[in-house]
Structure 1
Amino acid sequence: GIVMGRGTGFVLAMTGILRSGAGYLPIESHLPQDRIRRLLKAGGVSVVVTDNADVASWLGEEFTCVLLSDALSKGIATPDDDFRSSAASLAYIMFTSGSTGEPKGVMVEHRSIVRLVKDTNYVSLNSSDRILQTGSLSFDAATFEIWGALLNGGAVYVTALENLLDATELAGYISGYGISCMWFTSSWFNQLADESPALFAGLKQVLVGGEQLSVSHVGKVMHHCPAVRIVNGYGPTENTTFSVCGEVLPSDIAEGVIRLGYPVSKSRVYITDVYGKLVGKGVYGELLLGGEGVSRGYLNDALRTETSFIANPFVPGERVYRSGDIGCWDEDGRILFRGRRDNQVKIRGYRVEPQEIARVLEEHESVREAAVKVVVSAVGDKQLAAYYTGEEGAVAAIRLHLEKHLPSYMRPAYLQWLPVFVLNANGKTDMGALPAPVMEEVAYIAASSELESYLVEVWSEVLHIATTDLSVEANFFELGGQSLKAIALIGRIHRDRGIKIPLVELFTHATIRGLAGYLSVQSHVVYAGLVAAPVSDYYPVSYAQRRMYLLQQFDTFSTAYNIPLQLPLPGGYGIEEVGAALQALVNRHEILRTSFEEREG
């Protein structure tokens, strides 16, 4: 197992474990300790690699812990032939939310990783690519980000979460390091598109997924960054990250419908009805996913594996994964997505089974029964609402229990006591009869200073809660705040007040009163966008420009970085008008009049 925070050490640990012939179980160290222990035990882990002595200390009683620094100090050993991996060897286990209340460990083989990133039809990767790793390292998008770069001779970059969520910092990182390809969850992509749509201009390829894509947000980025290729990435962990992908076309935006795309290389997709028969174009059915991406199944769960991974009814000797997703073939061979056939949902790109959250709730002594469902806010945000029967005044204690056992994206925004659950005709909880959720009542305390009043206004805009309902002692995260909204809040304060707040400080000072106290003693940092450089005869090249210049010197006649483009010329315009328009552009933009020459060597 690997238990670490974000950083290059995580990638080194993955590589070393695979080199040894073993498989890895990635877990980020910020998760609750109880959940980390539960995942390690469920994964059958005997050795844990970590870069944190404190983690090694509290895990050391149950597992053999190896500090990464100690392992690296011993150098790189050549693996014994007996431990060399094959295509069918286990590469990693990744846990996803489970409908029975227990997370499911998906076992992925080496062949499936290779199928994902080598000779693909949905993205072009080579040794010049630089991929910025963005997702949770225990989330399967990291498989594409890390191995997509390394197995194609490119480079993978890892930076702090604060740099990823701050649009200004992210734009600087992309340009400064010449990042060419990135993955975004759709909710994160949407927020960045609203804040700074031109941010994506430095990239060649952008993959977006985790939830259905927003036509308006994708269209906005395509308008500001016409040279960037935006790909819709769909697929479950059980079929190794991506199963169906496709470039978003201008015609999709004009039509108002974004398709999933086509099956990725070395994969098969069948769409079947309730009787397991293939359906025709335009007819909705369940997506069955086959090919080399299909994983082994679920760790130590033969029953669920047998149910979800079935014999391919169309190709003897192969298996397919029943995705539970509903879609249909479009006329051009792409797939349209409609929804799920069960209760599984996506929250900020993470797959969540409400039943797993309900089970953790029912482990608390004050809860008799629990039910969890998804609600959609007035601005379209998906949020989890939890209901319980049992002890009425136990909300605060139950929330502490959830913090100890669940990652942040699985903690309900709403937690509401009910005297009894209404049952349906089958004797089960009638989810449709559950009332609209309401926030827990907090004793209202009004703002007592100008700074607190300002924060009430900002919180109201970010959380979409009336100012009259915001007590200065209310907790940002208990009101539905999460990391993306936190970054929006931090950015607004930085622009308005010139104070830049580290993300971790918002978790520490999560109330209006607490945050006002923190801000009152902080120094101001001027918020500024890009500033024009002073006029000079020449400028030093950026890192990305230097790299491209050196590559061009190896083959001065190469056109690898030329981008051919054809545009239809409207009637009534001739070569003179086109020439005048181009000259006006060159006169306006200095970069179009820029040449590169060597100085001092």
Structure 2
Amino acid sequence: MSGRPGPHTAGDDGVLLHELIAGHARSRPDAPAVTCGGRTLTYRRLDAEAERLAAGLRARVHGENAVIAVLMDRSTELVVTLLGILKAGCAYLALSTTDPDPRLAELAADAGARLAVTTPDLAGRLPGTLEILTSGTAPGGTGPAEDDPPATGTGDARPAAHGARTADDLAYVCYTSGSTGAPKGVGVTHRGVHRLAVLQDWLRLTPQDVVLQVSSVSFDASTLEIFGALCAGCRLVVHPGGGPIDLDALAATVTGHEVTVVNLATGLLHRLIESRLSVFAGLRHVVTGGDVASPALVTRLLRAWPALTFTNGYGPTENTTFTTRWTTTGTPPPGPVPLGRAVSGTAVAVLDDTMDPVAAGGTGEIYTWGEGLARGYLGRPAATAERFLPCPFGPPGSRMYRTGDLARLPADGELEFAGRTDRQVKVRGYRVEPGAVEAALVRQPGVDRAVVVVERDDAGHTRLVAHVVPGDTSDAGLGPRLRAGLAAELPAYAVPDAVLVHTTLPVTAHGKVDRDALTGRGPRPRTVSNAYIAPLTPLQRRLTELWSALLDTAPVGIEDDFFDLGGHSLLAAELLDVMHQELGVEIPATALYLRSTVAELGEAVGEALAGREKRP
């Protein structure tokens, strides 16, 4: 087990995010709060504009924890809107402007939203079932700021009918990707965001920091950016827009506003390190999360800027963005970038199938509990009960969340990601966890990143295809060497039938590896990729005959690759068994993975026969 959730602080049942921000409006009213393009709002102005919106919302919304949909690009007005919704005693559902209109309608309906706040240019994309409140500020917020109002009347005034608010009230609803079924709305509380944004000693934000906001507000990474900055009294610099990120424009935002802290999706971090390393020159702290980070690229970043602090964060939306973190200043990762240890206010356990903690060196599923735990899934009590379980390690009545993520627990306690439980597939009758294969690939020398996907060939057979990014792109023999290395570590059925080497991997708009884009990109079975070269010796001729019969393809040349022709682990075992019976030699499976053409395998057989003749 790792970490212990801290006790509630005195009176923190009343800790509300908008009240913390209103405190800065009273104590530092003229300090810059939010900048986007050419417009800056002071804390006083931000709080006042949010209060005006809140007053209008209170007149329209009745009942506690009402969910209000928001459809806006990144802008100062977006931040005002989120804060105003919280001030009104409601929770926000941030919708992505890049989603299709039917999905916007689906999520708004599922969350029970009856009101939406948007901009005039986007209002037509929302369903007619919603009451629409439009903002007068265009996306980007480039208009001149008005004179700041007096620093009086700020705070969270509201009618008594809305009742007393507590830290366990909803702050926002964030929908899961739906990769394991229908999207589920996660209800996140003020307490959870306070744990993420305020209680973390590793983040150490001060009013002197300038924090970038670049994540889609429908993505939970935006929670740390927006509320981490504003609750600490920092200046939040919003990168305008809502579609794909232009790297040059992003670099201009970071350098032009002298940003000191960024929280970047892993895919976006990789792209910036690869192409615009200089953008990190003025930064104090780089935070990433959402996918497996590249150890080679993180090492490159830290060697270029050794004074930089780097944090790799891990966590599901159900535990308010970050559950664990690994933080370093200047020191590269020891191998795969660790998930690290539990953050403040959170505890983590790695449990086996019997719900017992795994021993050091073992692999199990991550469970977590503490201050960051969400309420559950909106309107889905059965789904909530399935994932939010009674916690045997915490106080009576406490809950823990079953993440579905697998982790290895090294002796030093720094967790390492090991895949997902729900990606398990059947390959030729055997159950395989692609994440475990990915973890094994990353442990191989020369591998920086790895993704394993499942494909079906023309006959409907399932096969594993590995996509890897090497640490050294000049390693031409990496694919065969990896197959051989995995064959020595994994069961034969778990060894990928193809290993494809890439310079980079495709990512989604949220910066995660786009597995759908990889599926189907592998070499097709039973196709000859090399020019046909006829066998030159009786041994080569017999091998081509065996391959042709096993793989149901002809002709087979001596430069054709067994796996490119559709071979897999079971066929490899059958081939080696026939060779043993006919030729009287035992060729290990690793030899076939390393020397997978007819010509290379013939050489291996010749070496084995010569060695047998030399033995007394």
TM-score, normalised to structure 2, is: 0.56
Matched, 1:214 2:294: yes
**2-structure distance, mates of 1:232, 1:246:** 5
Secondary structure (helix, strand or coil) at the match of 1:202 reads: coil
**1-structure distance, mates of 2:87, 2:102:** 30
- Report the counterpart of residue 342 of structure 2 in structure 1: 263
Q: Of residues 385, 393, 397 in structure 2, which corresponds to 1:314?
A: 393
Q: Of residues 226, 242, 247 in structure 2, which corresponds to 1:146?
A: 226
Contact residue 269 and residue 288 of structure 2 kept, 8 A: yes
Q: Shift of residue 14 of structure 1?
A: 0.5
- Report the counterpart of residue 286 of structure 1 in structure 2: 365
- Report the counterpart of residue 583 of structure 2 in structure 1: none
- Report the counterpart of residue 479 of structure 2 in structure 1: none
**1-structure distance, mates of 2:170, 2:279:** 38
Contact residue 221 and residue 263 of structure 2 kept, 8 A: yes
Percent sequence identity over aligned pairs: 33
The 5-angstrom pairing of residues 147-546 of structure 1 reads: 147-160=227-240, 165-248=245-328, 252-253=332-333, 255-315=334-394, 316-343=396-423, 376=467, 378-379=501-502, 412-413=516-517
**1-structure distance, mates of 2:298, 2:518:** 30
Q: Shift of residue 184 of structure 1?
A: 1.3
Contact residue 372 and residue 384 of structure 1 kept, 8 A: no
Unaligned runs of 5+ in 2: 1-68, 139-144, 425-433, 436-452, 455-459, 468-499, 526-616
Matched, 1:109 2:189: yes
**1-structure distance, mates of 2:211, 2:244:** 13
Q: For 1:435-489, what per-residue CA distance to the aligned partner results, in whole angstroms no more than 9, with x for missing partners?
A: 8679xxxxxxxxxxxxxxxxxxxxxxxxxxxxxxxxxxxxxxxxxxxxxxxxxxx
Matched, 1:33 2:101: yes
Contact residue 27 and residue 137 of structure 1 kept, 8 A: yes
Contact residue 265 and residue 512 of structure 2 kept, 8 A: no
Q: Of residues 71, 76, 92 in structure 2, which corresponds to 1:3?
A: 71
Contact residue 248 and residue 259 of structure 1 kept, 8 A: no
Paired residues in the alignment total 380
Q: Shift of residue 275 of structure 1?
A: 0.3
Secondary structure (helix, strand or coil) at the match of 1:206 reads: strand
Q: Shift of residue 173 of structure 1?
A: 2.5
- Report the counterpart of residue 131 of structure 2 in structure 1: 64
Q: Shift of residue 328 of structure 1?
A: 3.0
Q: Of residues 83, 101, 114 in structure 2, which corresponds to 1:15?
A: 83
Q: Of residues 110, 115, 124 in structure 2, which corresponds to 1:47?
A: 115
**Relative to structure 1, is the Cα distance of residues 435 and 30 closer, same or farther in structure 2, using a 3 angstrom cutoff?**
closer
Q: Shift of residue 409 of structure 1?
A: 8.9
**1-structure distance, mates of 2:464, 2:371:** 34
**2-structure distance, mates of 1:147, 1:217:** 28
**Relative to structure 1, is the Cα distance of residues 210 and 64 closer, same or farther in structure 2, using a 3 angstrom cutoff?**
same
Q: Shift of residue 42 of structure 1?
A: 0.8
**Relative to structure 1, is the Cα distance of residues 172 and 320 closer, same or farther in structure 2, using a 3 angstrom cutoff?**
same
Contact residue 209 and residue 232 of structure 1 kept, 8 A: yes
Amino acid at match of 2:100: P
Unaligned runs of 5+ in 1: 347-353, 356-368, 386-405, 417-433, 439-601
Secondary structure (helix, strand or coil) at the match of 2:384 reads: helix
Amino acid at match of 1:278: P
**2-structure distance, mates of 1:89, 1:162:** 28
**Relative to structure 1, is the Cα distance of residues 61 and 163 closer, same or farther in structure 2, using a 3 angstrom cutoff?**
closer
Amino acid at match of 1:329: L
- Report the counterpart of residue 587 of structure 2 in structure 1: none
**Relative to structure 1, is the Cα distance of residues 79 and 294 closer, same or farther in structure 2, using a 3 angstrom cutoff?**
same
